[in-house]
Amino acid sequence: MDFQSVIEDIYQEVLPLSGQGKVADYIPALQSVNPKKLGIAIETIGGECFMVGDAQEKFSIQSISKVFNLTLGIQTKGDALWQRVGVEPSGNPFNSLVQLEYENGIPRNPFINAGALVVVDTLLDDLDRPNDEMLAFVDRLRCSQIDYDEVVAQSEKETGFNNRALINFMRARDNIRHSDEAILDVYCHQCAITMSCAGLARSFLFLANNGVVPSSDERILSSSQTKRVNAIMLTCGFYDEAGAFAYLVGLPGKSGVGGGIVAIVPGQLSIAVWSPELNRHGNSLLGIKVLEMFTTKTGLSIF
Ligand code: GLN
């Protein structure tokens, strides 16, 4: 299939639709991003790469990092992780506090903020330098030269009152062990990783390849663990819009409030899109549109 012309056509078709969403501004350092940016990148398991627009420009990956966080959590804790966090879609916004109260401090899944904060708490049991180890981990996924945007990390740490509230509510329900500062430092750095669409697509390829990085043959997760991470991406990757994403796109994927989305076609490829204007669920408006058009035009979907 000629993926290059597919994404070039989609790029031209969606460009006129920009201007309908809103760049995330609750993290002050994210406000200044140019809302008109648009990039698309595809990486195939066979090593081909296709790009259009701003596909090589780095941006703040935000909650896309929750997939790396979960993968590290599974590697270090194994199945014991699931005693601390669930695997059900939340049907609530990513930063919601209410569900935690009636479910006794056990977050619904690892892709809402509360769930990712618990996973970070478990990483702190085992990793001495979690921020360095996260960068080293992404490097193993064949995406080198990535870094943290310290301005974004600092900005979120200073204004992350909601995340602090989530941590402390869970601490009150005995589901947090480490200090607020230690957890927020790691969580905010993860969210402040900067990567391009090309880098994101490459780093997610192991999830399309049964847990093995195609270019190095390194196994990151077992086939069974990979199946589970993909299932959680499909059911929880877009918070209270997960159903619509499955309906419109039909692929496991993960979004972030920086405007990025990565999705995988198992056995074939991964695709990343960046467009900073978000819809009311905090997901990239054009990003979803691009992926909907991609699966419609190519017929590639898990359904
Ligand atoms: N850093 C953001 C937060 O904690 C991540 C949210 C997101 O990308 N959905 O609020």
Distance 110 CA to ligand 1 centre (A): 13
For 29-82, write each residue's pLDDT tens digit: 999 999 999 999 999 999 999 999 999 999 999 999 999 999 999 999 999 999
Spatial contact of 106 and 115, defined as CB atoms under 8 Å apart:
no
Q: Which two tokens stand for residue 191?
A: 């969210």
Spatial contact of 132 and 167, defined as CB atoms under 8 Å apart:
no
Residue with tokens 């819809």: 279
Q: Is the dihedral of CA 229, 232, 238, 239 positive or negative?
A: negative
Q: Which atom of ligand 1 is nearest to the CA of 192?
A: 1
Which helix (H) or strand (E) element contains residue 264?
Answer: strand 260-265
Segment among 19-28, 63-72, 163-172, 179-188 with least mean pLDDT: 19-28
- Kindly report the number of other CB atoms within 10 A of residue 183's CB atom: 26
For 225-282, write each residue's pLDDT tens digit: 999 999 999 999 999 999 999 999 999 999 999 999 999 999 999 999 999 999 999 9
For 124-158, write each residue's pLDDT tens digit: 999 999 999 999 999 999 877 899 999 999 999 99
What does the alpha-carbon distance between residue 27 and residue 164 come to, in Å, rounded to a whole number?
A: 14
For 84-129, write each residue's pLDDT tens digit: 999 999 999 999 999 999 899 999 999 999 999 999 999 999 999 9
Q: How far is CA 24 from the centre of its chain?
A: 15
Spatial contact of 200 and 70, defined as CB atoms under 8 Å apart:
no
Closest CA to 87 of 191, 233, 248, 190: 233
- Kindly report the number of other CB atoms within 10 A of residue 79's CB atom: 9
Per-residue pLDDT, 143: 78
Q: Where are the domains of the chain?
A: 3-298
In the chain the first and final C-alpha atoms are separated, in Å, by: 19
**In testing the pocket of ligand 1, which one of 27, 30, 62 has its CB within 8 Å of the most ligand atoms?**
62
**Cβ 257 under 6 angstroms from ligand 1:** yes
Closest residue by Cα to atom 3, ligand 1, is 113
CATH 3.30.70.1140, applies to 3-298: no
Averaged pLDDT for residues 280-291: 97
Closest residue by Cα to atom 2, ligand 1, is 62
Looking at 257, 265, 273, 290, which residue is catalytic? 257
**Cβ 63 under 6 angstroms from ligand 1:** yes
Distance 46 CA to ligand 1 centre (A): 32
Averaged pLDDT for residues 210-239: 97
Q: Which atom of ligand 1 is nearest to the CA of 116?
A: 4
pTM above the 0.85 mark? yes
**Which residues, other chains included, contact 185 with Cβ-Cβ below 8 Å and sequence gap of 6+?**
131, 157
What does the alpha-carbon distance between residue 232 and residue 154 come to, in Å, rounded to a whole number?
A: 29
